[in-house]
Amino acid sequence: MLQDEPGHGGTVAGRIAVLGALAIALGVACKTTTSGGNGCASTGADYVITVDNGVAYSNPNLTVTVGKRVCWENIGSTSHSVTSDPVVDSTVDDTSWHLDGQLNPELVVLYAKFTKLGADYHYHCRYHQGSGMIGTIQVR
């Protein structure tokens, strides 16, 4: 399990940190690369979006209900990110949407604040946005 991996001491719960004064539920956790990636499974996420050595999220257009937890996991060896797009229209978008998670192969990114019914949460990869690596979470 995670706590046995050299160089990543501590418990899973200890590594899933709530960051920021606004209590945005962004967490990162180590995962065991030798087991094929159980990192997101260890977070209890409702949905898992994977990335690999390509330039696409596995499910770039995901629809969830309010309050679900989405976890991004890197199953390849190329670094990516999960980075929120700027909010364009505050009447339809969630102005609390701020996420910039580094998605290295040994990390997962968990976000659990999809709280605005009807909103679209747009995001991209900082490194591969120009290649079309974008995604949207729709809350319906």
Closest approach of Cu ion to the CB of residue 107, in Å: 13
Binders of Cu ion among residues 54 to 83 (CB under 5 A) are 80
Query: Does residue number 124 form part of the binding site for Cu ion (CB under 5 A)?
Result: no
Alpha-carbon span 119 to 130, nearest angstrom: 24
Give just the sign of the alpha carbon dihedral 51, 56, 57, 58. Answer: negative
Closest approach of Cu ion to the CB of residue 134, in Å: 10
Query: Does residue number 127 form part of the binding site for Cu ion (CB under 5 A)?
Result: yes
Q: Which of 45, 62, 112, 133 binds Cu ion (CB under 5 A)?
A: 133
Residues in the interface with Cu ion (CB under 5 A) total: 5
Which CB, 15 or 128, lies closer to Cu ion? 128
Closest approach of Cu ion to the CB of residue 96, in Å: 24
Angstrom distances, CA of residue 48 to CA of 29, 42, 88, 91 = 14, 11, 26, 28
Give just the sign of the alpha carbon dihedral 108, 42, 95, 131. Answer: positive
Q: What's CA 124's distance to the chain center, in Å?
A: 11
Which CB, 78 or 96, lies closer to Cu ion? 78
Q: Which of 31, 48, 128, 137 binds Cu ion (CB under 5 A)?
A: 128
Residue 90 main-chain phi, psi, to 5 deg = -70, -15
Closest approach of Cu ion to the CB of residue 74, in Å: 9
Q: Which of 28, 108, 125, 137 binds Cu ion (CB under 5 A)?
A: 125
Contact partners, residue 139, CB within 8 Å, separation at least 6: 63, 64, 65, 66, 114, 115, 116, 117, 118, 119, 120, 121
Instruction: Give contact residues for Cu ion (rule: CB under 5 A).
Output: 80, 125, 127-128, 133
